[in-house]
Amino acid sequence: MIQRILVVQTAFLGDIVLTTPLLRELKRAHPAASTTVLTTPLGRALLAGHPDVETIVVHDKRGKDRGVSGVLGAVRALRASRFDLAIAAQRSARTGFLVRGSGARRRIGFASAAGAWAYTEKVPWSAGEHAVRRYLSLAGPAGGDPEIADPTPTLPIREEARAKVDALLAAEGVSPGEPVVAVAPGSIWGTKRWTPSGFAEVVREAPRLGVRAVLTGAPDEEALCREVAILAGGNVPVLAGTTGMPELAALLARARALVSGDSGPGHVASAVGTPVVAIFGPTVPAFGYTPWGERNVIVERAGLACRPCDAHGPQVCPLGHHRCMTEISAAEVLAALTGVLQRAR
């Protein structure tokens, strides 16, 4: 009998969101079991209060837990919980060490992973499927049914986060009932960022569509958001740097839609039921990382022989022209947003 389940997911924000259907299916298959998720500090902020997670263990692999000593410390903490089952949702060698070191008798992961040596049961990594489906496939050997499982990502919305967002918006002159569209121009990958002037035109034209634009992003994206606000003519609410993950989820739940690149906020929006206009440049939807849901729209420059140029999107265009983003017009993005808003109404 499976009583204690460990899921390791220390990848990017979007990957953490796209793993939530797996967590739900594991809970459906083993309702009496306790699920622990080992994730990043960002993942903890995102998953705290999730109904399918009992315990969150933080592994700050880019900070204090970097290196061998960090992995060994995590292993010691995991062993104390005596897990029956461990699932590796990330394909790194580090994840293999963590799963093997957890002491779990059964260990499930992807056959093509760098840490596959650590798994007792392996499932194929199906490159042609959406990432949600790939992660859900890990539930199969664990007693779940990926074919009938609900693939919709979900995130909790905390009431205190709603209240903080309402207060921040009010301070920017946004009334409680005023419809807004969230705009997230940033990305940790340089070539995934659409042009600031393009985002500015979307922000400037938003009132014509019956919504007010609100710029959002991580603290290190505040300067970019303020640049977009200035290009849009000013008087634009900028919440970047004032919100954490719970507030981002609350803001996106409050919004009628999100306009962003191929980045984490798009996945958060889909997990709280908000449609997304996602601008794809160096990456392509075929990778399987589009925001989940039929209401979302992908805007991209089709027909470029250089796309895709990287699995994530390099910091600088390898060919120096960045046509995959610069040739996407604001008119295209606004047309997509118009359709999304009309369907939402």
For the sheet with 34-39, list strands across it.
55-58, 34-39, 4-8, 85-88, 106-110, 121-123
End-to-end CA distance of the chain: 48
Asked if domains 4-137 and 159-344 share a fold, the reply is yes
> pLDDT of the chain along its 345 residues, tens only?
899 999 999 999 999 999 999 999 999 999 999 999 999 999 999 999 999 999 999 998 888 888 888 889 899 999 999 999 999 999 999 999 999 999 999 999 999 999 999 999 999 999 899 999 999 999 999 999 999 999 999 999 999 999 999 999 999 999 998 999 999 999 999 999 999 999 999 999 999 999 999 999 999 999 999 999 999 998 999 999 899 999 999 999 999 999 999 999 999 999 999 999 999 999 999 999 999 999 999 999 999 999 999 988 899 999 999 999 999 999 999 999 999 999 987
Q: Which CATH number fits domain 4-137: 3.40.50.10470, 3.40.50.720, 3.30.530.20, 3.40.50.2000?
A: 3.40.50.2000
DSSP 285: G
C-alpha 92: how far from its chain's center? 18
SS (H, E, C) 152-220: CCCCCCCHHHHHHHHHHHHHCCCCCCCCEEEEECCCCCHHHCCCHHHHHHHHHHHHHHCCEEEECCCHH
283-322 exposure pattern, b = at least 16 Cβ within 10 A, e = fewer: bbeebbbbbbbeebbbbbbeebeebbbeebbeeebeeeeb
Please give the backbone phi and psi of residue 61, each rounded to the nearest 5 degrees, phi first: -70, -20
Q: Where are the domains of the chain?
A: 4-137, 159-344
The reported pTM is 0.95
Amino acid in the structure at residue 288: G
Which two three-digit tokens encode residue 231?
């290009």
DSSP bridge pairs for 122: 109
* Architecture in CATH of 159-344: 3-Layer(aba) Sandwich (3.40)
DSSP helix/strand/coil, 83: coil
